[in-house]
Amino acid sequence: MSDIKRLTEKECYEYFKEYNTPDHVIAHCEAVSNTAVTIAKELNKHGFNLDVELIRYAGLIHDVARVEDHHEIIAADMLEKAGFHDEAAIVRVHMRYDFNEFDKLNETDILCLGDRVVKEDSYVGIDDRVDYLIHKKGENPERTEKLLEKKSETKLFISEIEKCIGRTLDSLFTLTLDNMLKQVEKPARYIGEERNIVRKDVNDVDVRFAFAFPDMYEIGMSYMGLQILYDIVNKRDNLYCERVFAPAPDMEQLMRDNHYPLFTLETKTPLQNMDVLGFTLQYEMSFTNILNMLELAGISMLSKDRSESDPLIIAGGPCAFNPEPLADFVDAFIIGDGEITLPDMLEKLAEAKKSGISKQEFLKSLADIEGVYIPAFYDVVYNNNNTVKEYIKNWDGAPDVARRAIEEDIDKLSFPVNNIVPIIETVHDRAVVETFRGCTRGCRFCQAGMIYRPVRERSKKSIMDIAAQQLENTGHDELSILSLSTSDYTDFEDLAVDLTKYCKDRDVSLSLPSLRLDTFSFKVLEEIQGYKKSGLTFAPEAGTQRLRDVINKGITEEDIYSAVEQAIELGWRHVKLYFMIGLPTETYEDLDGIAEIAQKVINIHRKSGIGGRFNVTVSVSNFVPKAHTPFQWVAQDTTEQFKEKHDYLSNKLKIKGVRFNYHDDAISTCEAIFARGDRRCAELLMAAHKAGCKFDGWSEYYQRDTWQKVLNEWSMDYRFYNERQRDYSEVLPWDIIDSGIKKDFLKEENDKATKEMITKDCRYGCVGCGINSRVNCSRGGIYE
């Protein structure tokens, strides 16, 4: 090749000067050259051996003489004379050219193709280009016909190329990830360069799994479950867990405009190329993001539309305890603790891939793993009144109910010590150790308090070890402990003392959420917070003792007031009070109680004589009845009722020093529909997604009017799901999931609620929730 004389870029621009080529023609030449080169390089990756440099410079020079008549002849003659024979040959024919057979294609074909898909100075594709030519000055039927003929020829040629390169021609001419990242807010959300990220050679692993969090990076990276499963899956050499989050709207728009598929952070692999995609279901209002992420990945949303080559879509987390609204979209759910179930499932897939069994066969092979629910194995029959009649198995091997996976000894489960350290600030940006799972208090509204039973503790030694290693490996300067009720840890006082000392010695701030505020806790708080006193939080949940008895929230006003007195004494200047409204049996008297508590807290400060600034924040959320709780049968307040109650409280809480926050009423209505919905909710979810709903848990993104419209247009009456009191005899959609808690216990608790009777914390005597018939419950009745 070395003896062949080739045109250079410098010479091209010298010729442009010589021939007075106008700027817009040069820009066109540059675009054709770039386009043809891009196509040639892609074809060379797929077995061709095209001379890219020849294409580049023939492209650049091809219209050099465009101001002349028969410009291609003039240019070709000039090139020929100068000794650029190959370039000349291409330029000579470029105005009238018929493509070669695909397997015989050469540099001329590629350049001429480039010329046909560029309009002026940019790639537009064949359709736009021909359309432009047809409507150009001098439009006539004869010319149009000829152009259309050329167009169909070119399209045929393009389709051959697309078959060969395995992607569309358009996709070669979109922005790169780098281009997009330069245009978005917080680009570090998408780069995956964090400390402790796991890198594996994707050719060395059997199964590639993407952990998908259906919300933004900052939210997802604050979730410990992600770190736990990332760690556990990646500990196996043959499995690779990567991460993906919902892109923020600015990034999403660019990705859509450029047909850029959703990708994993670790290797930037399109999700379509993963074996398994696993969504975590933390809150119902993230469901639209799941559909949006699938769409952004180019994966069919409905299970039935997906093929053998599509990734398996799985999901787990608290909302999987009523999986039915997502049953049409998800192939398999993981119910309960995922630490064993998830890797087991992925290992099974590794085997299945080797043996080449079908997706259907593979799903069947999962049926005997505890904690797996495969919706496709069950058909739902409905009564005329729209309630569920029954679930009918369409495959005999499916279990009657999907039993929740319960790991009895969580101390044996590994807990991450090499947490990924986010680059940008996340909601919770800190080291986290789980102290125990489960709760004995039995608050009747609380789903977590039911579905994570029994209480299973980690030993103090392993908590201390994990904390030390995590702090060392991450460099975090904050440590938090994770449980449903910090103070309920058996050895809490010792643990708190040890953690406090450990953190103090290392300048690490310690955060102990949901402390029960007794004398000891104040001592600890005084020690760890010193002069930096953040707000003190109480969650009475309801405004009167009567209603607190109904919900079985074992906190009295005396508890609160004596704690507030101590707190004021010790220098706290801000108290936060959390309440729920719309609880079963609630009256306006209970709302008055909320205002009374706030007023009394203010009064305590006044009486203390300490003076200075003092604030109370009252935060009110709207009660959403959840599956697998004693309140799973009750009706929810309507959006209007919530609104009235908010207005009422706003008025009542016009107290100096009191701030009032409340959650959007309409969001709570939507949340409740999915929390206790059935498979027919898929239609609603799909409609919301199509209408553009996403990030519904964010008040700034929640589209109130769109949701209202979608709800009203739905073939079901949405009030059936949230405003209806269910009968005990009714088959509930989530009865297919066995949480380990007996339904009779939930009924008893609901009955007691209506009678305003409390149930004691089960450490003072087993209350018969039924979990000990499944696994050993070590906490029941320990204080008896």
Judged by the rule CB under 8 A, the positions of this chain that interact with another protein are: 9-10, 12-14, 26-27, 30, 121, 175, 178-183, 187-188, 190-195, 197, 421, 423-425, 471-477, 507, 531
Q: Which is nearer to another protein, 342 or 508 (CB)?
A: 508
With vertex at residue 113, the alpha carbon angle to CA 107 and CA 117, rounded to the nearest 5 degrees, is: 150
CB 564, min distance to another protein, A: 26
Please check whether residue 290 is in contact with residue 694, taking contact to mean a CB–CB distance below 8 angstroms: no
CB 335, min distance to another protein, A: 36
Q: Which is nearer to another protein, 27 or 148 (CB)?
A: 27
Q: Which is nearer to another protein, 186 or 576 (CB)?
A: 186
Q: Which is nearer to another protein, 354 or 532 (CB)?
A: 532
Q: Which is nearer to another protein, 193 or 201 (CB)?
A: 193
Question: Any idea which residue has 């728009």 for tokens?
Answer: 253
CB 268, min distance to another protein, A: 9
Q: Is 543 helix (H, G, I), strand (E, B) or coil?
A: coil
Q: Which is nearer to another protein, 120 or 751 (CB)?
A: 120
Burial of 5: CB neighbours in 10 Å, binned 0-12, 13-18, 19+: exposed
Q: Which is nearer to another protein, 12 or 634 (CB)?
A: 12
CB 428, min distance to another protein, A: 14
CB 228, min distance to another protein, A: 21
Burial 197-226 (b: 16+ CB within 10 A, else e): bbebeeeebbbbbbbbbbbbbbbbbbbbbb
Q: What backbone torsions phi and psi does residue 7 show, to the nearest 5 degrees?
A: -65, 145
Strands lying side by side in the sheet with 478-482? 431-434, 478-482, 509-511
Q: Which is nearer to another protein, 69 or 193 (CB)?
A: 193
The C-alpha atoms of residue 777 and residue 771 are separated, in whole angstroms, by: 7
The C-alpha atoms of residue 134 and residue 132 are separated, in whole angstroms, by: 6
Query: How much helix, strand and coil, in percent to the nearest 5, is found in the chain?
Result: 45, 10, 40
CB 197, min distance to another protein, A: 8
Would you give the distance in Å from CA 506 to the centre of its chain?
A: 35
Please check whether residue 683 is in contact with residue 634, taking contact to mean a CB–CB distance below 8 angstroms: no
Q: Which is nearer to another protein, 268 or 690 (CB)?
A: 268
CB 218, min distance to another protein, A: 12
Rg (CA), the chain: 33
The C-alpha atoms of residue 314 and residue 311 are separated, in whole angstroms, by: 9
Tokens of 204: 């060395």
The C-alpha atoms of residue 212 and residue 200 are separated, in whole angstroms, by: 18
Q: Which is nearer to another protein, 432 or 688 (CB)?
A: 432
Tokens of 345: 């499932």
Please check whether residue 569 is in contact with residue 563, taking contact to mean a CB–CB distance below 8 angstroms: no
CB 440, min distance to another protein, A: 37
CB 37, min distance to another protein, A: 11
The C-alpha atoms of residue 626 and residue 332 are separated, in whole angstroms, by: 21
Helix (H) or strand (E) holding 510: strand 509-511
CB 196, min distance to another protein, A: 9
